[in-house]
Amino acid sequence: MTHRTALAAALMLTALAATAHAAGPEVHACNFKIKARCVKGDASVTLTDGKVTRLVVDVYWCGLPGRPGYSCLIDSSRGDSDAKWSEENGATFIANAAPTNPNDPDRVKVTLGQEVSIDLTEAQSLGRCGAGAELPHAILIPAKKAACRVQLGAP
């Protein structure tokens, strides 16, 4: 390989790397509305270099007639002091650093695949939700733009 060919190859690789890096974070998001239970919300997972770096889940439950509704919110970014992020068996776990009930688990599991799966079965609603609201058990963000698929707890 000549010096000129090696230089051209290095410049091309640098340009490709800069283009890939310039693309920035990749956001997977969806929203949902379940009329029968009077609940709506949205979810998003941000990936940077293929790694989960932010999770946002926002759920709103209707109140009784004439009363305000209630909401639940999880908004966590990698590096925040209020959560501990870890990787285990191909999934990202986001554990609340100060759970309301320290005797029970309080973590969210995010799994990447054809769809993005947000498993909230081990997340505590207390401390994140207003009275009368709770987090769903799971949210699936489809690969193509579509509504979230949501699994709520028992009515």
Domain annotation covers residue 83: yes
Domain annotation covers residue 53: yes
| Angle ∠(104,107,108) on CA atoms, nearest 5 | 145
Domain annotation covers residue 94: yes
Q: What is the mean pLDDT of the chain?
A: 86
41 Cα distance to chain centroid: 13
Predicted confidence (pLDDT) per residue in 3-25, tens digit: 444 444 443 444 444 444 557 89
Give the predicted TM-score (pTM) of the model. Answer: 0.82
Q: Residue 61 belongs to what domain range? A: 25-151
Domain annotation covers residue 36: yes
Domain annotation covers residue 15: no
Domain annotation covers residue 8: no
Counted domains in the chain: 1
Cα separation of 68 and 61, whole Å?
Answer: 9
Q: What would the 3-class secondary structure string for 76-141 be?
A: EECCCCCEEEEEECCEEEEEECCCCCCCCCCEEEEEECCCEEEECCCCCCECCECCCCCCCCEEEE
